[in-house]
Amino acid sequence: MTSEKPVVDVTPEVIGEPNILSQRLAALRRQGKTIGLVPTMGALHEGHLSLVRRSRQMCDVTAVSIFVNPTQFAPGEDYEKYPRVLEADLEALASAGGADFVLAPSPAAMYPEGFDAHVHIGGVTKRLEGECRPTHFDGVAVVVLKLFNMSGADVAFFGQKDYQQAAVIQKMVRDLNLQVKIEVCPIVREADGLAMSSRNKYLSAEERAQAPVLKKALDLAKEQIEAGNRDTADLKHQMRRLISAVPSAAIDYISIADPATLEELDSVGGPAVILLAVKIGATRLIDNIVIP
Amino acid sequence: MTSEKPVVDVTPEVIGEPNILSQRLAALRRQGKTIGLVPTMGALHEGHLSLVRRSRQMCDVTAVSIFVNPTQFAPGEDYEKYPRVLEADLEALASAGGADFVLAPSPAAMYPEGFDAHVHIGGVTKRLEGECRPTHFDGVAVVVLKLFNMSGADVAFFGQKDYQQAAVIQKMVRDLNLQVKIEVCPIVREADGLAMSSRNKYLSAEERAQAPVLKKALDLAKEQIEAGNRDTADLKHQMRRLISAVPSAAIDYISIADPATLEELDSVGGPAVILLAVKIGATRLIDNIVIP
């Protein structure tokens, strides 16, 4: 499972029914194959494709799920307009060497009539995204738990861009004794530093030009810390000043936190993670950087 | 997995740490062995032992968990006084031919410092036990989900005595895409009809003599239905009259319900389940009977 394998192009079987995926993967598991799962909401970009490549290196079989999960959107968020581009996603997957299975279910296949299960992970869900989007992580937890269960994955791959999401999932794995290993892969960025995100498509040309300010603010704080500035209030003040100079930007939060618990730090005495959420025009973007 | 195998006596490995059980069972699964799980709270009686025997017939490996789960008891219920008799349980298991593994964890091993996961199954949890014990099924769901995950069981065995519990678990399996098969095994009864329960130990001699009234009331309704009485109000009235004649008995509920949804029936037109909860002195007993 940990040895790196040469990548051979494969064309995925595209599956709509979770039970069919479960049957296919159970048969492969019985043959001793290891299963890698890459959960996505589609609109695949290089960030997603890096997860798929990593899965193909680490596991015998790779399943990619493409599902815009309604339970993790609140009313008034962008569930309806979130990009749904399955054909383009399959082409993008092919360009990355492919995957063995693509699960592309309907909402009714994931949440059939009478569905009534709720999963809540406490602690690490409370702040930041959890505060801005109070029902978000419950929706993430239930869909990811379903995907873990239906796939029986040995390893599941998530991007570091959604840092808090990865922390919530790792907490769920521990608390619920799930046997899946979570691999968190590095953020993939555009040439100008903007973290890749399916939501970048929402940006106007002008907003797109201003969006790299998130990464610039993270870099500013990182340089300051490396230069010996430990004062998180001052660091956040400097980040805020930099971002506020951008006309389209409105800060949701800036946090300098413990990398494991995501509790706010008063001063940077060891490892830390700097996280932020900023609206660029109407588009809410998140980004983060880990300070070792 | 479905073929019946000759039973050979085995002495269990007794394990306290969930992670150790996971490792042992993962290794056996990789060898192609099927895993049967019998979740119990200990104080094993013939009802539990019938589940263990069934697991040993159906599966290559049988794991029995013995854990008085604090999250399914409300304050003021019998968590503290619930019988904990591991040595006697191991003897009882041996008398039934044994099991391969016994998981007997401490509360801290199941719910370590910082544990903060919540699972709620709606619908079928709302009435009956869910109404009398509002937090009970959330506690059942979380512990059973943890046991399913840590064991990777192919089949899990539950007694029909806890009819609603089995329905909740089957709903959880469907809603969360769990790949475990749920086997619900028949109620095992004392010679006078009293359903076996670890809580029967709480009964005084006098109460024990009166406790079979639960089964008598179920039988009365069943006979009436077989004789053509479809009127659930009348059936419940007759059951209530029979039970009320017993000095130590206080009825919590009597229900004649749809076997799948547990919704109350006005008249018996097809399959039904009759369920009741009755306090005999200070001891709350439940029982049920399925009408095909």
Best residue of B28, B29, B30, B175 to probe chain A, by most A CBs closer than 10 Å: B175
Nearest CA in chain A to B25: A179
Nearest CA in chain A to B115: A175
Helix residue ranges, H only, chain A: 18-30, 46-58, 86-95, 107-110, 129-132, 136-151, 163-175, 205-210, 213-226, 232-244
Helix or strand run (H / E) with residue B210: helix B205-210
What is the architecture of the domain spanning B198-287? Answer: 2-Layer Sandwich (3.30)
A177 touches chain B (CB under 8 A): yes
Mean pLDDT of B212-220: 98
Provide the token pair at B113.
């410092």
B48 is catalytic: yes
Q: Tell me what pLDDT residue B6 has.
A: 58
Q: Tell me what pLDDT residue B10 has.
A: 84
From the CA of B76, how many Å to the nearest CA of chain A?
A: 25
| CATH number assigned to the domain covering B13-185 | 3.40.50.620
Provide the token pair at A246.
């951008």
Per-residue pLDDT tens over the stretch A58-109? 999 999 999 999 999 999 999 999 999 999 999 999 999 999 999 999 999 9
Nearest CA in chain B to A18: B177
Kindly determine whether residue A119 and residue B118, on different chains, have CB atoms separated by under 8 Å.
yes
pLDDT band of residue A10 (cuts 50, 70, 90) is confident
Q: Tell me what pLDDT residue A284 has.
A: 97
Among B120, B121, B149, select the one facing A179 at the smallest CB separation.
B149
Chain B residues touching residue A123 (CB < 8 angstroms): 114, 116
A171 touches chain B (CB under 8 A): yes
Chain A residues touching residue B123 (CB < 8 angstroms): 114, 116
- Strand B272-280 vs strand B283-291: parallel, antiparallel, or unpaired? antiparallel
CB atoms within 10 A of CB A87: 7
Among A115, A172, A178, select the one facing B175 at the smallest CB separation.
A115
Provide the token pair at A156.
């599941």
Q: Tell me what pLDDT residue B2 has.
A: 47
B172 touches chain A (CB under 8 A): yes
ipTM attached to this prediction: 0.95
For the range B252-255, what are the long-range contacts, defined as Cβ-Cβ under 8 Å and sequence gap of 24 or more?
A: B252/B132, B252/B276, B252/B277, B252/B278, B252/B279, B252/B284, B253/B128, B253/B131, B253/B132, B253/B277, B254/B217, B255/B127, B255/B128
Domain boundaries along the sequence of chain A: 13-185, 198-286
Q: Tell me what pLDDT residue B3 has.
A: 53
DSSP labels, B146-165: HHHHHHT-SEEEEETTSHHH
Chain B residues touching residue A263 (CB < 8 angstroms): none
Per-residue pLDDT tens over the stretch A106-154? 999 999 999 999 999 999 999 999 999 999 999 999 999 999 999 999 9
B117 touches chain A (CB under 8 A): yes
A35 touches chain B (CB under 8 A): no
B24 touches chain A (CB under 8 A): no
B23 touches chain A (CB under 8 A): no
From the CA of A22, how many Å to the nearest CA of chain B?
A: 8
Per-residue pLDDT tens over the stretch B111-160? 999 999 999 999 999 999 999 999 999 999 999 999 999 999 999 999 99
Best residue of B116, B127, B168 to probe chain A, by most A CBs closer than 10 Å: B116
Partners of B235 in beta bridges:
none
Kindly determine whether residue A149 and residue B177, on different chains, have CB atoms separated by under 8 Å.
yes
Contact A83, A42 (CB under 8 A): yes
Q: Above 80 in pLDDT, residue A47?
A: yes
From the CA of A87, how many Å to the nearest CA of chain B?
A: 27
Kindly determine whether residue B150 and residue A179, on different chains, have CB atoms separated by under 8 Å.
yes
Q: Is the fold of B13-185 the same as that of B198-287?
A: no
**Token match 């009964």: residue?**
B203
What is the architecture of the domain spanning A198-286? Answer: 2-Layer Sandwich (3.30)
